[in-house]
Amino acid sequence: MPQLSNENRIDIKSLLPDEIKQSFSDLSLPSYRAKQVFSWLCRGVDDFALMTDISKDLANTLNEKYEIKTCKIAKKFCSQLDDTVKYLFELNDGELIESVVMKYKHGYSICISTQIGCKMGCSFCASGLNGFVRNLYPSEMLSQITAAQHDLDIRISNIVLMGMGEPLDNFDNVVRFMKIVSNGDGLNIGLRHISLSTSGIVPKIYELSQLNLPITLSVSLHAPNDKIRSSIMKINNTYGVEELICACKKYFERTGRRISYEYAIIKDVNDTPECAKQLYELLNGTCAHINLIPANPVNENGYKTPNRENIAAFQNLLIKYGLNATIRRTLGRDINASCGQLRNRNKR
Ligand code: SAH
Ligand code: SF4
């Protein structure tokens, strides 16, 4: 059983059903109680007293031993252009995190945060501007989903770990979260419906490949060579482009899952025809998919997005080389602020 206690109470929403069962057996509670409570928690019921098949006495006992982590809505922004909703959530300790719900033809998708702040300090990103505060617990990742589902009265079918934070820098909690969220007695969101985005922590990519989870791995490449990548992503000084691509090839070999490369296209930084050519030389034959993201300008960094025609020209060059490249649709443009900006503004 992991050490997940906080204020001397156990963080019950970070436990899997079998672990709740084990913990309940210490209180001489029958095993069916674990399934009941797990199912309530996954449905977003954040108070034992509101679980209607649990007596008042039992609710009090559980409340003494277990803490239920929650996401309270601090702010909510609804797009006027599409159905995108952006939340600023307040956690039990008062910290703020962001999540975004997007509507697609196939259903609802949520982009969740995995850390408060980020250590990686990529120069184009708002999430790391104020440094790193702490990792999120599995329960706090789950709560972003249950709170949004409850608020919008919807069922979310896809999860992207692309909000604030570096998921592979919070490896154990993220893996645990994925097990909880895909559990059949809970939200039952299949691992194939989960995408994890990483800035490229190479040893963790190898570790993840060993788990052989059928998730989609997205790698934030953003540059085809060490010179440019190191100038915008500090992590490239530790794990260079070649080492990263080698890990990605091994990941594909081991899991059979095609990797998606994120490429935030920034004017006069990584948008030249030479960059497209180098990208081809790097990824040729890897079965990869390249997702071009129009860079979201963050006040503090002065980066600009190329205009639409230039982004399309870059994409066409990649396609001409035989690469599989798409441009990410930007949803909720009117309420946007790339991830991390909302929290930064509210902190100030
Ligand atoms: N830390 C992880 C996941 C969170 S960031 C990672 O870096 O992959 C999610 C994605 O948003 C990453 O691809 C990241 O590079 C991208 N991103 C961050 N700031 C951006 C910005 N200002 N414009 C466009 N994409 C951005
Ligand atoms: Fe962290 Fe990802 Fe932002 Fe880089 S892009 S600072 S890794 S959240």
Using pLDDT thresholds of 50, 70 and 90, give the confidence band for residue 3.
very low
Round to whole Å and give the CA distance between 327 and 290: 8
Q: Which domains does the chain have, with CATH numbers?
A: 10-67 (1.10.150.530), 71-347 (3.20.20.70)
Catalytic residue, chosen from 98, 140, 166, 262, is: 98
* Alpha-carbon distances of 83 from 80, 109, 139, 260, rounded to whole Å: 7, 11, 26, 25
Atom of ligand 1 nearest to the CA of 298: 22
Instruction: With a cut of 70, say whether residue 331 has pLDDT above it.
Output: no
Pairing of strands 107-111, 216-220: unpaired
What percentage of residues in the chain have a pLDDT greater than 70?
92
pTM above 0.75, yes or no: yes
Q: Which of 2-16, 26-40, 158-172, 298-312 has the lowest mean pLDDT?
A: 2-16
Q: Is 98 a catalytic residue?
A: yes
**Paired tokens of 136:** 């999120």
What digits encode the pLDDT tens for the residues 102-147?
Answer: 998 889 999 999 999 999 999 999 887 778 999 999 999 999 999 9
Which sign, positive or negative, has the C-alpha torsion 123, 128, 131, 132?
negative
Closest residue by Cα to atom 8, ligand 2, is: 165
Of 190, 222, 217, 223, the residue nearest 202 (C-alpha): 217
The helices-and-strands tally (H runs, E runs) of the chain is 11, 15
What does the DSSP assignment read for 92-131? TTS-EEEEEEEEETTEEEEE--SEEE-SS--TT-STTTT-
Segment 288-304 shows an average pLDDT of 84
